[in-house]
Structure 1
Amino acid sequence: MAFQIPWDALLGGMLLGVSGLVLLALNGRIAGISGIVGGLLRPKESDVSWRLLFIGGMVAAGILASISGISYPDFAAANADSSPFFIVAAGLLVGIGTKLANGCTSGHGICGMGRLSKRSMAATLTFMTAAFITVFIRLHL
């Protein structure tokens, strides 16, 4: 089987990078999802509209992709046998990790790496290493 370039992933990654750059250049804000959502939990009056628009755009893009007939893997079906306790525990662990790392994968991995932030480089190296180890254990042990 010959290698094929995943054009949709390449385009999606480029759009993420451009959107992060535009948000930083025009608003001075980092496009980290945990920070954007966290800012809605403790809102400042002048800070709510752009956060709602950002999250609304993500939701709208997902809805548009699903109704346009674009076929993506059904990730929800892959975990259909997981218990609600396991799903809640996993979500809480992600939240704790995000809090400990002062940001999420989008904030550190996309925006922070692009700004050459040392803290983001360390965080990205840490979560990517953890992901590689987890996948190896899950698939090979």
Structure 2
Amino acid sequence: MTEFTPFLSLAGGALIGLAAVLLMLFHGRIAGISGMLQGLLPPFASDWHWRAAFLAGAVLAPVLILALTGWRPDFVSETPVLWLIIGGLIVGAGVQLASGCTSGHAVCGIARFSPRSIVATLSFMITTTITVYVIRHLLGGF
């Protein structure tokens, strides 16, 4: 079963929100990870510098925390790697169909009262809820 961590979750959510607000304030850009990554693939976006810096920070921050404190979250997945790859491909297809990811739609889009983002986020959440229920309760979990 998943461990309930309300304080760590709240802190993480606050930091994600702060990063999104600061990016919008200083650069006028949406903190959607899929859009940032897309701008780093050929043909490169003219503003690729901030995209690379933001994504590098997202990758390097946990490495820095590990180096400074020695702390890392325990992560164990009993899910076979093939299922993880298939899930990643399905998520990637969904990101393309929804014209953005959860960070772009849920964090930034809803904050801007975007109807499209509200509908996209509702569909993400409903689909996730159904998927978790089916996997954990009908299929016996992985």
Alignment map for 1:1-141 (pairs within 5 Å)? 6-41=6-41, 42-45=43-46, 47-67=47-67, 68-74=69-75, 77-79=76-78, 81-84=79-82, 86-141=83-138
Paired with 1:49 and 1:103, the residues of 2 have a C-alpha distance of 20
Paired with 2:20 and 2:12, the residues of 1 have a C-alpha distance of 12
Give the letter for the 1:69 counterpart. G
| Higher helix proportion | 1
- Normalising to structure 2: TM-score of the pair? 0.85
- Normalising to structure 1: TM-score of the pair? 0.86
How big is the shift at 1:64?
2.0
CA gap of 1:62–1:137, structure 2 versus 1, over 3 A, is same
Instruction: Show structure 2 runs of 5+ residues with no match.
Output: none
Q: Deviations over 1:67-87 (max 9, x none)?
A: 32334230xx314x5143x33
Larger RCO, structures 1/2 (Cα 8 Å, 6+ apart): 1
Aligned pair count reads 133
Instruction: Show structure 1 runs of 5+ residues with no match.
Output: none
CA gap of 1:99–1:6, structure 2 versus 1, over 3 A, is same
CA gap of 1:56–1:117, structure 2 versus 1, over 3 A, is same
Paired with 1:61 and 1:97, the residues of 2 have a C-alpha distance of 27
Give the letter for the 2:60 counterpart. A
Q: Deviations over 1:44-70 (max 9, x none)?
A: 23x111011001101111212333233
